[in-house]
Amino acid sequence: MIKFGKGVVKHRVLILIISFALLIPAAFGYFNTRVNYDILSYLPDELESMKGQDILVDEFGTGAFSLCVIEGMEDKDISTLREQIADVDHVKSVIWYDSLADLSVPMDVLPDEIYDIFNNDESDSTLMAILFDTSMSADETMDAIEEIRGITTKQCYLSGMSAVVTDIKDLTNKEVPFYVLIAVLLSVLVLSLTMDSAIIPLFFLLSIGMAIVYNLGSNVIKGEISYVTQALAAVLQLGVTMDYSIFLWHSYQENQERFPGDKNRAMAHAISNTITSVVGSSITTVAGFIALCFMSFTLGLDLGVVMAKGVIFGVIACVTILPSLILVFDKAIEKTKHRVILPDLGNIANWITSHYYIFIILFLVILGPAIWGYNNTNVYYDLAGTLPDSLESIAANNKLEENFDMGATHIVLVDSGLEPKTISKMIDEIDDVDGVKATLGLDAIVGPAIPRDVIPDSIRGELENENYELLLITSEYKVASDEVNAQCDAISGIIKNYDENGMLIGEAPCTQDLITTTDHDFKVVSAVSIGAIFVIIAVVFKSISLPIILVAAIYFAIFINMGIPAYTGTQLPFIASIVIGTIQLGATVDYAILMTNKYKKARYKGAEKKEAITSALQSSIQSIIVSALSFFAATFGVGLYSDIDMISSLCTLMARGALISMLVVIFVLPSLFMIFDKVICVTSAGFRNKNKTV
């Protein structure tokens, strides 16, 4: 590795020129990577709810629909508005009363159950159904939503997942630049307190920033990324890879003492040392993110691949771009040197190892409640329920519930060859299910005794073709609630009794599948991440016992972090329960590996147990604190700022997790080493001095 270090030092100017030049194609790739704002689209394709969505597009040419609540508007104005909306690109059709009959015919001719679904005389409001010929989160659908909002007035409220996805897009695009700004400012603050140069934090952030741009630009190969990944990638990469830069800087300073007056040689050795130490720890971080790729809910694959790439780019930038910046701007760095503001906390190491039994007792006392909290933290799956009420789509959904007592809307697809009487009987059974307001289809509109030929072709084509008949079910229950999930099960059972190939689709059935899928994924990801990191630690340290001790220590921190919401009554987004443990394990096991390496080296050189553990803690505590505080800074501010609860909760958990892991590694891990030192030395290579016995 020393040859590589010397090569970087020799070609530092060329490296910087190439690095800055690569930002151009990376920026091009970033701006040409589509962002997917529909979380449900990451469900497995083989699920019936997802297959049904494809059938809806292929057979009916309808990929999405919205319900528009209109208040205090004359019928003739509503009719004019319907025609205007129908002219919007990618609006397939707009269904209201005048789609069925001329306005000269009173609405009272409609059956009472249908009239009541679409009209509320008390609030002077009516419902209009808008069908799109593109999918729920397609760019064309979101553009159509924006255009419809431009046409409608304040009296109109456009609800549905397409409207929610459009608002998420607008909110994310507005907030993401501030995520990066907040993370950078708080990271600079932390680094200014912990570094001995005023300008070196800027070079840290510049090299990491370039790695982030390369990573985000390379996503163009994937075609698209999720909005969650887009929002978190920069902040998470900054927090996870900052410690690599810190390791390089500290190593550079140490080697300047070894080679006084020869900064090039010092940097070459610093690069070599950093590669040796960082590669091992970065592999565990990459493994944590790769574990997410084993999720059948492919949002994990999306986030896992992007963040694994980000760690690799971060390591490369740390040992090429950052050393080049430090050497090229050496004079500026020297001129801005100052005394480190944060005091050296290494002197508490002896006290910790002398009182290790206190922390072992705390470990045992806290472990039980932490595990209970971890297993009893509540999660939510309602993707729209925690968004700000100020968003137009949320206001519209609230209006829909307030005026029409409508929570979710389901779609049924059954064989069009079924007899009208059979379908009518099935509809009667569905209407008897708890929480079902009404079931609408051709027979609900005209009744089974009236020929379907009297129905206008424009309406009939929306509800029936040669293969399928479509029914619309309105529900009183909210998406992702226990009640609506039970309702979906009951309706699916009824449908299968009449048509074994019939299917129930829509947001609520998709969300129900999301619950089932992610529950399975949680177990898979946990097992894969623990197994992968266990094997990596075992190979790196050639040890049987150390993987158990290190993973146990970090998982203790994860149990505390994920268990706190159970005691505070906080609900977490479903994705948090899956990815946070993996991220915290992969990102903060680095702290444990750093200390273990120093402990191993001291033990091998002949130091006694307490002396080795104390010196390992003393020499690594500052780096651990700086790294953890940097991770905390990069995520904490975003957690406070974001109005998207999924982003806010994830960042808050990561920030808190970094601090908890830091405390566990500083206080609990050395205590575990004190207890299990003899076992570690016997079951691990490189801990016993050749000339001494344990």
The answer to whether 685 and 541 are in contact (CB under 8 A) is: yes
Please work out, in degrees rounded to the nearest 5, the angle formed at the alpha carbon of residue 546 by the alpha carbons of 542 and 549: 165
Give buried/exposed letters for 531-551 (b at 16+ CB in 10 A, else e): ebbbebbbebbebebbbbbbb
Answer yes or no: are the C-beta atoms of 550 and 589 closer than 8 Å.
Answer: yes
Q: In this structure, are residues 290 and 315 in contact, taking their beta carbons and an 8 Å threshold?
A: no
Flag whether pLDDT at 447 surpasses 80.
no
Beta bridge partner(s), residue 408: 475
Q: So what's the pLDDT on residue 274?
A: 86
C-beta contacts of 85-88 below 8 A and 24+ residues apart:
85/128, 85/130, 85/148, 85/151, 85/152, 88/144, 88/147, 88/148, 88/151
* pLDDT over 70, % of the chain: 94
Residue 525 has what pLDDT?
Answer: 87
Residue 85 or residue 279, greater confidence? 85
Residue 128, helix vs strand vs coil: strand
DSSP of 36-52: E--GGGGS-TTSHHHHH
Q: What is the pLDDT of residue 405?
A: 85
Give me the sign of the Cα torsion angle 290, 291, 297, 300: negative
Span 369-386, pLDDT tens digits = 999 999 999 888 887 767
Contact at 8 Å (CB) between 554 and 529? no
CA–CA distance from 614 to each of 236, 312, 348, 353, 565 (Å)? 31, 32, 9, 6, 34
pLDDT recorded at residue 113: 66
Distance between CA atoms of 469 and 451, rounded to whole angstroms?
16
586 close to 282: Cβ distance less than 8 angstroms: no
pLDDT for residue 324: 95
Q: Are residues 404 and 120 in contact, defined by beta-carbon separation less than 8 angstroms?
A: yes
Q: If you average pLDDT over each of 26-30, 147-151, 193-197, 420-424, which comes out highest?
A: 26-30
Q: H or E segment at 635?
A: helix 609-641
- Residue 188 scores a pLDDT above 70: yes
Stretch 30-51: mean pLDDT:
90
Q: Nearest-CA neighbor of 544 among 687, 356, 363?
A: 687
Rounded to an integer, what distance in angstroms lies between the CA atom of residue 437 and that of residue 435?
A: 6
Element spanning 604, H or E: helix 574-604
pLDDT at residue 136 tops 90: no
Q: Residue holding tokens 């971080």?
A: 285
d(CA 332, CA 337): 9
Q: Is 342 exposed, middle or buried (0-12, 13-18, 19+ CB in 10 A)?
A: middle
Closest CA to 661 of 594, 597, 574: 594
How would you class 296 by CB atoms within 10 Å of its CB: exposed for 0-12, middle for 13-18, buried for 19 or more?
middle
pLDDT of residue 694: 44
Surface-to-core class of residue 634, CB atoms within 10 Å of its CB (0-12 exposed, 13-18 middle, 19+ buried): buried
pLDDT in tens, 517-574: 888 888 888 888 888 888 988 988 899 999 999 989 999 999 999 999 999 999 888 8
CA 217 to chain centre: 19
Residue 444 CA from chain centroid, whole number: 42
Tell me what the pLDDT averaged over the chain comes to.
Answer: 87
Give the largest Cα separation in the chain, rounded. Answer: 104
Query: Please, which pLDDT band fits residue 691 given cuts at 50, 70 and 90?
Result: low
How many whole angstroms from its chain centre is CA 148?
30
Judge whether 599 and 616 are in contact, CB under 8 Å. yes
Q: Which two tokens stand for residue 651?
A: 């960042």
pLDDT band for position 60 (50/70/90)? confident
Whether 480 has a pLDDT exceeding 90, the answer reads no
Take residue 455 and report the two structure tokens written for it.
Answer: 């129905």
Pairing type for strands 468-475 and 436-440 reads: antiparallel
**What whole-number distance in Å separates Cα of residue 542 and Cα of residue 202?**
38
Number of helical (H) and strand (E) elements in the chain, helices listed first: 27, 13
Taking the C-alpha atoms of residue 232 and residue 175, their distance in angstroms, rounded to an integer, is 11
Give the global pTM. Answer: 0.85
Q: Tell which residue, 142, 159, 134, has the closest CA to residue 227.
A: 142
Min mean pLDDT across 338-342, 452-456, 528-532 is at: 452-456
Question: What is the pLDDT, as a whole number, of residue 101?
Answer: 65
8 touches 326 (CB < 8 A): no
Q: How far apart are CA 283 and CA 652, in angstroms?
A: 25
The length of the chain in residues reads 694
